[in-house]
Amino acid sequence: MIPWWRIELGENEIEAVAAAIRDRHINQGPLCRQFEEQLAEQLGVPHAVTCCNGSSALYLALAACGVEANDEVIMPALSYIATAHAVLLRGAVPRLVDVRPDRPLIDPAKIDEAVTPRTRAIVVVHLNGAACDMAAIKAIATRHQLRVIEDAAQAFGSAGPFGPLGTLGDAGCFSLSMAKLMTTGEGGFAVTRNADTHQQILKIRNHGVLDISNNRFPDFGFNFRLTDMLAAVGLTQLRSLEQKIETAKRTYNFYRNGLQDLRFLRMMEIAVDAGEVPLWCQVYCADRQRIIDLLEERGIQSRPLNPPLCDSPQLRTSGAFPNARRLGAAILGLPSGPHQDASDLQRVVDVLHEISDQLPDLETGPEEQDHA
């Protein structure tokens, strides 16, 4: 079976973990601090804070930016559920807005009308390394005095017109899970340019204190720490990040060139020449489930986009989100990853050509439809 995602950990990572154990760097310690310094340098920001996963990074950013119970947080109706669950864990209310008709990214034109007196922040999601319109979003946030948090879990290494994604708002949140270009198995980190926000994230990550040895806990917090053993893996992975980014771009271009003449699918556009990095290679397709079944019959895994947040019952959302539902039902991820074998990628392209006569034409692409 050709997996939908392939990333490998090898001897370098094994030796890094073994060295951490030999040196008694087990829990959060010097390797985490070294990892944070290198992550901050990589992204060109003064502050990075590691944590146990990308979901906790979102929670830390929300808490540090002052989101409290009953506040409203604006976010796109199409994202991974962690974006909304982090808000719910703060006791706040996710306020969903639709995505753009042409890309699964929050539509700035929909944000203004969603702002209420209870709105405290906007969470933007750079889905699959694609850059949200940060200039427009930050202008809206300034007008309404809102904080901007970037969910860049799928965008480490990706850049937009104004710099690396995740570094353009009040705080940025990243994931280091297995389905990312750089992984520690589980893990994440948050970045910020603001010293006060940095201090708040550090405290909340560690039960509300900077030095837990003093046995005083005046502020709220929890244990969101990463370990030095996982940081050792991250430091090793970080050394090959640029190579993985180039591999992701090559894979995207390989699919785009190999599938361009097929009428039942179209690549979701990623501006690789402008700095965007496609974490996964995704297509907009007709009859998605049929494609999934035909590929699986031939030993190829694929992965549909997660369902829209507006269809998650725990969010108790009302309203119409036509773009989120349409794109959410049509986007499919093809086998990707920094260690996907070239012959397997060619096999995927060949099979998609073989099954083309069994699938209906994609009559229009998302950018060609009228969604007024």
Which residue shows structure tokens 């501006």? 271
Residues 327, 366: Cα–Cα separation, whole Å: 8
Nearest to 47 by CA among 161, 141, 154, 167: 167
Please give the backbone phi and psi of residue 18, each rounded to the nearest 5 degrees, phi first: -60, -40
Kindly list the distances between the CA atom of residue 152 and the CA atoms of 78, 227, 255, in Å, as whole numbers in the listed order: 14, 22, 24
Question: Which tokens sit at 56?
Answer: 């906790």
Percent of the chain whose pLDDT exceeds 70:
98
Nearest to 227 by CA among 26, 20, 16: 26
Residues 243, 231: Cα–Cα separation, whole Å: 20
Q: Please give the helix or strand (H or E) that residue 47 lies within, else none.
A: strand 47-51
List, for residues 283-333, the tens digit of each pLDDT value: 999 899 999 999 999 999 999 999 999 999 999 888 889 999 999 999 999
List, for residues 172-189, the tens digit of each pLDDT value: 999 999 999 999 999 999
Q: What stretches of 135-255 adopt beta strand conformation (E)?
A: 147-151, 159-160, 163-164, 171-175, 188-192
Kindly list the distances between the CA atom of residue 221 and the CA atoms of 26, 39, 56, 90, 217, in Å, as whole numbers in the listed order: 22, 23, 12, 12, 9
Residues 36, 329: Cα–Cα separation, whole Å: 38
Question: Sorting pLDDT into bands at 50, 70 and 90, what band is 365?
Answer: low
According to the model, what pLDDT value does residue 135 have?
A: 97
The boundaries of every CATH 3.40.640.10 domain in the chain are 11-238
Given CATH 3.90.1150.10, say whether it is the number of domain 241-368.
Answer: yes
Q: Please give the helix or strand (H or E) that residue 290 lies within, else none.
A: helix 288-297
The boundaries of every CATH 3.90.1150.10 domain in the chain are 241-368
Mean pLDDT value of segment 193-205: 97
Question: Which tokens sit at 103?
Answer: 């890309």
Residues 238, 149: Cα–Cα separation, whole Å: 24
Contact predicate 278/181, CB 8 Å:
no
Residues 331, 298: Cα–Cα separation, whole Å: 20
According to the model, what pLDDT value does residue 284 have?
A: 96
According to the model, what pLDDT value does residue 364 have?
A: 57
Long-range CB pairs of 238-241 (<8 Å, 24+ gap) are 238/35, 238/38, 238/39, 238/42, 238/182, 241/42, 241/156, 241/157, 241/181, 241/182
Kindly list the distances between the CA atom of residue 61 and the CA atoms of 57, 58, 227, 358, in Å, as whole numbers in the listed order: 6, 5, 20, 47
Question: Sorting pLDDT into bands at 50, 70 and 90, what band is 372?
Answer: very low
CATH number of 11-238: 3.40.640.10
State yes or no: pLDDT of 371 exceeds 70.
Answer: no
User: Which residues, in sequence order, are CB contacts of 159 under 8 Å at separation 6+?
Assistant: 131, 165, 274, 275, 276, 277
